[in-house]
Amino acid sequence: MKKSVLTHAALGVAMVFTLTLNTVVHAAPPGGKFTKQPVATQFDRSLNYVPPEQLPIVDRAAGLSEMEMRQRMTAVAVTPEGETYQAEVTAEDMAIFENALSEISESYQGKKRDTKKSPRRGVAPEVNATSNGVNAESVIGTDQRVQVFSTTTYPWRAVGRIAVGCTGTLIGPRHVLTAGHCVYNIANNQWYSNLNFTPGKNGNSNPYGTIAWSSAITTTGWTVNHDRNHDYAMIILGSHIGNTVGWLGYGYNNSLPYYTVNINGYPGDKPFGTLWHSNCTLAIIQTYRLYYPCDTYNGMSGSGVYAYFPATSSRIIYGIHAYGVDSTGYNGATRITSDVYSRLNNWISANP
């Protein structure tokens, strides 16, 4: 059965001119079902994240038991003060996960689509959606990334640089979607402390300032099992900057078409703090991953992989960019399934 869901966050741009400016929210524990853990964390205070090719990432073993799956789905969080929290998986969570697996079309498995990059001509265009080892994030052939200079216009201003060197995208008033390896270092099993967010950054210009983080959330599938399929996270900010700059939508489609996708990020091989755009057509669609020939580089980790639908002026993130070229020959993202979608919804609802 084909099922596609678009979140209300896709309407964020329409709200930019009607909502009030930022409301300061002091650092606070995540809400909802999270309970405080007895042991405080020791932070990794590095100024730069460890790129995925240097991490002990593993691919999920086949045939995991329900107990093993439940353990990997447990949400974990940290505050800047080092307090840690955990939210156990419920029966409803497991039902959503099992339903997601049964609904996703297996016809994509192993299939590969002939693709080519879209030509760039001067200004970074958003492109219409309808037109096994881990390596470094990669430029494939000729570098076709284009610098974005108008970072104070939507949607570019909803993208920002995370202080540890990654990219994040606002998907709510104070909710930044990024990769798991951008908030938690599995090489030393420590949370990163430098998670402040600078939206619309353009070199040394920070037009909306730098927003302090309030908490960071991911799953034990990433922090404990180092599972590549769980490499996603959310940073909760200390103010509602999204009410000023807007945010992008996110969603899932169990029979996802081979859309043309857009990626905006802060690559480490370009001048510091500059935003770059890449677009291309999806090449391989798997249950937990998306692959594409879009050019990327370290620093673009955490970028939203989104489709643009001009008829409705909507932008929907279907994946979180995380990896360079592997055995597929393409760069890759963690796919937003209905299970991941539900979890992101819960994290936003718990932290309004």
> Which residue do the tokens 């008829």 mark?
311
* Alpha carbons 6 and 13: distance in angstroms, whole number: 15
- DSSP classification of residue 63: S
Q: Which two tokens stand for residue 213?
A: 């983080």
Active-site choice (138, 239, 278, 301):
301
- Asked about 342 being catalytic, the answer comes back as no
> Which residue do the tokens 């932070």 mark?
43
Count of Cβ atoms closer than 10 Å to residue 345 Cβ: 16
Q: Which two tokens stand for residue 281?
A: 């057509």
| 144 within 8 A of 117, measured Cβ to Cβ | yes
Active-site choice (175, 181, 277, 321):
181
* Alpha carbons 64 and 299: distance in angstroms, whole number: 32
- Asked about 205 being catalytic, the answer comes back as no
N-to-C CA span, the chain: 33
* Alpha carbons 42 and 188: distance in angstroms, whole number: 10
Non-local (6+) Cβ contacts of 25 within 8 A are: 174, 214, 237, 238, 239, 240
Q: Name the residues annotated as catalytic.
A: 181, 301
